[in-house]
Amino acid sequence: MKIFFLNPPFKTEIGKFSRASRSPAITKSGTIYNPLWLAYACAYAESKNIETKLYDSCAEQTNISDTIKIIKEFNPQIIVIDTSTPSIKEDIHCAEEIKKALPNVHICIVGTHPSILTDEVLNMSNAIDSIARHEFDATIVDLAKAIEENRDMSTIDGISYKKNGENIHNKDRAYIENLDEIPFVSKIYKKYLNINNYFFSAATLPMIMIMTGRGCPSRCFFCVYPQTIHGHKYRLRSAENVVEEFEWIVNNLPEVKSIGIEDDTFTANPERAKEICRLLIKKGINKKVKWWANTRVHTDLELMKLMKKAGCRLIIPGFESGSQEILNNIKKGTKIEQAIEYMKNARKAKLLVHGCFMVGNKGETKETMEKTLEFAMKLNPDSAQFFPLIPYPGTEAFYWAKENGYIKTYDYSKWLKEDGMHECVLNLPNLSSEELVNFCNYAREKFYLRPNYLFYKAIQSITNLDEMKRNLKAFAKLLKYLKKK
C-alpha cells in the first residue's frame, strides 16, 4: 500500500500559496507554512508500515501537469489532497486531473473546508472518492487497510463518501489522545521537503514548524482550527517527547535557525510549558536553536523569563482589538489591561512579540478600528499584522455573518484576489469590505513606516546579524508590496 500526501498547486505561477496558514493566501509578507497536517498524517501512516510520499506543489511552485508526473512515478493506491476554503475549486479541479491520469487511484480530500461543508464538497465532483473529516491521521490509515483488504468504507470512523448516489457520513472519529505515538514531523520534513522553501517574516531562517499539542481551550469565535479540525481540549505531547524532537532537529537539521511551535496556545498549560523549558535548559538545547510560540496575554513574567532562558526568541499573541467591547463580543476572554501588562513583561523578559490585530468583528466601527491602530502603536510589538475578519466555514464567525447577511459571496474562489492575496468578504452595516481592507493597508503602513520604528529596526539589525537578515528580507517584501500598491 502506497499513499501520496499532496499539497496541491494553486496559483503557483504567481507565488507561494500558504494553505496551512489559518488564513490561507499568498501573503504580502511572503509567509508560507510547512504543510503541518499533511506531514503529521504522513508520519503517522509511515509508523504503521505504509509506504508514503509527501509533496508540496505550492512550496515548489509546481503546476498540475508536473505534479501529476511526480505522482505517477510514485504510483500510489491512495492520494490524500489537502484543501482550503479559497482554493477549494482548484483543489477539486486538481483531483479531477489526477483522476483522468490515474483512474484507479482512490482520492481522499482533507482540510477545514470539507470537514464542515462535506455534502457540498462531495457533490462537487465524482473524482472525490472520500473525505476524511477533522483530524485525519488515523482515518487515513484505516482507509488504507480497508482498501488493501478490499473492504467497504462503512466501518471507518471520520470518513464520508458516496454510495449508490447517496452521501454517507460515518460517525466522527475520536481524537488521538496519546500524541507521543505520532512520529516527529521534522523527520518527514527532512525526508520530503526543502526547508528553505518556508518563510515567516518574524522568524529567523531557515525555520520549521511543529506542534507540541492539539486543540485549544479558548473559544474565540473566529479561530478556525479548534472549531473544524482538532477541537477545544488541549491534548499534549509529553515534555520529554517534545524536547527529544528539538534534540533530533539540532542533530539532524543543523541548518535550522528557529523552530515554530504552532499550537494554538502553547502556554495554555503553564506548568507543562515550564517543564519543556526546564528540559531544554537541562539538555543545553537552548544554546543551539531558537524557537517561537503562540501565546495568550495571560502569560506571566515568570513563564516568559523561563521561556527566554530556554531559547525562546519570539512570542505571538492575538491582541485582536483595542476595544474591550469587541474583545467581549468575539469571546476572546482577555482584557486590554492584560495586553498592556503582557507587553511590559515581554520587554522585561527580552522576548520579541509579533502582535496580531483584526477588524470587522461584531460591533466594529470606524472609531473602534482607529482605537485598534492606536492600541497597536501603543503596545509597539516588534512586528504586527492587520487583517479583516475572514469568517471561515465552521466557525462561529461564519454562522454569525451568514445569519446576518454580511457575507457578500459564497463563491469561495473570490475569497482571495486574483493575485492570491487576502480579500475581505464582509459587508457590515456600517463598514464595507473595501473600507476594512483599506484600513488594514493603512494600519500596516502607519505601523511599519514610523520613524521611531525604522530607527529601532536599524539598531536591531546592526547589533544582531540574524535579525539583520530577517529584517532585510521582511522589509524587501514590504517594499515590493508598497511598490505594487
Question: pLDDT per residue over 255-310, tens digit each?
Answer: 999 999 999 999 999 999 999 999 999 999 999 999 999 999 999 999 999 999 99
Q: Residue 454's pLDDT is what?
A: 86
Provide the CATH number for the domain around residue 44.
3.40.50.2300
Same domain membership, residue 259 and residue 337: yes
Same domain membership, residue 220 and residue 77: no
Q: Residue 480's pLDDT is what?
A: 66
Same domain membership, residue 307 and residue 238: yes
Distance CA 107, CA 129 (A): 5
Task: Measure Cα distances from 413 to 33, 75, 91, 254, 435 in Å.
Answer: 21, 30, 11, 40, 21
Same domain membership, residue 146 and residue 67: yes
Q: Is residue 458 part of a domain?
A: no
Q: What 3-state class would DSSP assign to 356?
A: strand
Range of the domain at 149: 2-169
Q: Is residue 454 part of a domain?
A: no
Over residues 3-30, the mean pLDDT reads 94
Q: Is residue 334 part of a domain?
A: yes
Average pLDDT, the chain: 95
Same domain membership, residue 211 and residue 96: no
Same domain membership, residue 283 and residue 139: no
Strand partners, 407: 426
Same domain membership, residue 279 and residue 342: yes
Q: Residue 440's pLDDT is what?
A: 94
Check whether 485 has a pLDDT greater than 80: no
Sheet holding 78-82, edge to edge: 51-56, 2-7, 78-82, 106-110, 130-132, 159-163, 166-169
Q: Residue 107's pLDDT is what?
A: 98
Q: Characterize 44-73 residue by residue with b for buried, 16 or more Cβ atoms within 10 angstroms of its Cβ, and e for exposed.
A: bbbeeebebbbbbbbbbbbebeebbeebee
* Share above pLDDT 70 across residues of the chain, in percent, rounded to a whole number: 98
Distance CA 317, CA 431 (A): 26
Q: Residue 416's pLDDT is what?
A: 95
Task: Measure Cα distances from 64 to 61, 111, 422 in Å.
Answer: 10, 19, 23
Over residues 430-445, the mean pLDDT reads 94
Q: What 3-state class would DSSP assign to 312?
A: strand
> Looking at this protein, which amino acid is placed at residue 11?
K
Extended beta strands in 321-455, E state? 352-359, 383-388
Same domain membership, residue 205 and residue 160: no
Count other Cβ atoms within 10 Å, centred on residue 481: 17
Distance CA 82, CA 473 (A): 29
172-175, long-range: CB < 8 A, 24+ apart: 172/133, 172/134, 173/133, 173/134, 173/135, 173/136, 173/138, 173/139, 175/135, 175/214, 175/215, 175/230, 175/231, 175/233, 175/235
Residues whose CB falls within 8 Å of the CB of residue 84, separated by 6 or more in sequence, listed in order: 19, 24, 91, 111, 112, 113
Q: Cell 456600517: give the residue.
A: 430
Per this entry, what is the length of the chain?
Answer: 485
Q: Residue 145's pLDDT is what?
A: 97
Residues whose CB falls within 8 Å of the CB of residue 187, separated by 6 or more in sequence, listed in order: 43, 248, 252
Check whether 469 has a pLDDT greater than 80: no
Same domain membership, residue 207 and residue 156: no
Report the domain count for the chain: 2
Same domain membership, residue 266 and residue 161: no
Distance CA 458, CA 451 (A): 10
Check whether 472 has a pLDDT greater than 80: no
Over residues 128-155, the mean pLDDT reads 97
Check whether 481 has a pLDDT greater than 70: no
pLDDT band at 461 (very low <50, low <70, confident <90, very high): confident
pLDDT band at 331 (very low <50, low <70, confident <90, very high): very high
- φ, ψ (nearest 5 deg) of residue 415: -85, 0
Check whether 101 has a pLDDT greater than 70: yes
Q: Residue 470's pLDDT is what?
A: 74
> Comparing 49-63, 183-197, 358-372, 437-451, which segment has the lowest mean pLDDT?
437-451
Same domain membership, residue 209 and residue 157: no
Distance CA 197, CA 456 (A): 28
Check whether 482 has a pLDDT greater than 90: no
Q: Characterize 125-146 residue by residue with b for buried, 16 or more Cβ atoms within 10 angstroms of its Cβ, and e for exposed.
A: eebbbbbbbbbbbbbbbbbbeb
Sheet holding 290-295, edge to edge: 207-210, 258-261, 290-295, 312-320, 352-359, 383-388
- For residue 206, say if its preceding peptide bond is cis, omega within 30 degrees of 0: yes
Distance CA 130, CA 144 (A): 12
Of 249, 248, 280, the closest CA to residue 266 belongs to 280
Q: What is the grid cell recorded at 223?
A: 479561530
Over residues 93-117, the mean pLDDT reads 98
> Looking at this protein, which amino acid is placed at residue 480?
K
Over residues 405-421, the mean pLDDT reads 95
Q: Residue 484's pLDDT is what?
A: 62
Check whether 202 has a pLDDT greater than 90: no
Give 3-state DSSP helix, strand, coil % of the chain, rounded to 5.
45, 20, 35
Final residue before a domain boundary, out of 169, 192, 224: 169
Strand partners, 108: 80, 130
> Comparing 40-54, 68-82, 155-169, 456-470, which segment has the lowest mean pLDDT?
456-470
Over residues 431-452, the mean pLDDT reads 94
Over residues 207-236, the mean pLDDT reads 96
Provide the CATH number for the domain around residue 420.
3.20.20.70
Q: Is residue 182 part of a domain?
A: no
Q: What 3-state class would DSSP assign to 222?
A: coil
Same domain membership, residue 219 and residue 366: yes
